[in-house]
A = this chain, B = another copy of it.
Amino acid sequence: MQGGDDDSSYAKNSEAPASAISLCRPLLLTTIESMKIFFRNEEEAESLRVADLGCATGYNTLATVDMVVEALRQRYINQCGFEPEFEAFFSDLPSNDFNSLFRSLSNIGILSDNKRKQYYAAGVPGSFYGRLFPRRKLHVAVSLSALHWLSQIPDGVLDKRSAAWNKGRVWIDGAKKEVVEAYAKQSEKDLEDFLKCRKEEIVQGGMLFLLMGGRPASQQPDNQLSDPDSRAKHPFTTSLDQAWQDLINEGMIDEETRDGFNIPAYMRSTEGGRQ
């Protein structure tokens, strides 16, 4: 993901996730309203720990955590008469631009003014397909528009000797059956790993809220982005294959370089997500 905040940065090119995240907010708020109350009085209260998994950088990141913390804070004030302390963990791969993220936190005063501080902020570098937190420590974990990114390009896809070798393509759009199956299998394993890790990390009565790019149950996996209008625009589809082919035709790169590149993303079906 591109760091910083210039025109090519993720922060300035994330309208689609922003829109999906906005749409899911009412559902997230309703879920928080129905959550267990963990501490009835201030003396017993531990800090409440909230994590954003696959947080990236930019406006979306802070807005989600701010909303979760504020909703929980109001509930404790109204129902228990005290304000618990909060820890907010912003997690993403070590290659994420945490420097930018931390600058945003200090720009809005979260780090500099104790009176205005609503949570203690920390960045957690690592893959959410492995453990990121100690046992039974998280009260709320959210992961918004991140779980369609796989932990790796599936085995075989970059291997000439494999039936799943994805020669000439950078993704499963239009690819042969074996490639699509390799992606589907990787996606299934990854989701299992994710859920297993979160099960260990989240306290009893805690909440896991997921929003992920997906496709209708009726739609086959080789048809990841069915809307003809979206297909025309989405960078993962054959327009990217064509761009690579142009580079090859112009002698800018060789075929081997193109064949070594694949996008590790997969849109699960609503049915697959439920299993």
Contact = CB atoms under 8 A, between A and B. Distances in A.
A126 B123 CA distance: 12
A137 interface: yes
Interface in A76-98: 85-87, 89, 94, 97-98
A186 to B, nearest CB: 17
A111 B123 contact: no
B85 A94 contact: no
B102 A125 contact: yes
Dominant SS among interface residues on chain A? loop
A98 B100 CA distance: 10
Contacts of A135: 47, 85
A82 to B, nearest CB: 13
B124 A122 contact: yes
A63 B120 CA distance: 25
A130 B114 contact: yes
A116 to B, nearest CB: 11
A53 B122 CA distance: 13
Interface string A48-88: 00000000000000000000000000000000000001110
Interface in A190-245: none
A132 B47 CA distance: 13
A243 B122 CA distance: 39
A102 B125 CA distance: 6
Given A94-B102, A94-B106, A97-B99, A87 B123 contact: no
Interface string A97-127: 1110011011000011010010011111111
Interface residues of A, number: 34
Contact of A111 (B3, B112, B126): B126
A120 B132 CA distance: 6
Contacts of A134: 46-47, 85-87, 120
Interface string A25-58: 0000000000000000000001100000000000
Contacts of A87: 133-134
Given A47-B135, A120-B132, A123-B124, 5 more contacts: A85-B134, A89-B122, A111-B125, A114-B130, A123-B125
9 contacts: A85-B134, A85-B135, A86-B134, A87-B134, A102-B125, A111-B127, A120-B124, A121-B124, A121-B126
The 7 A-B pairs of least Cβ separation, nearest first, read A47-B134, A102-B125, A85-B134, A122-B122, A94-B106, A123-B123, A111-B126
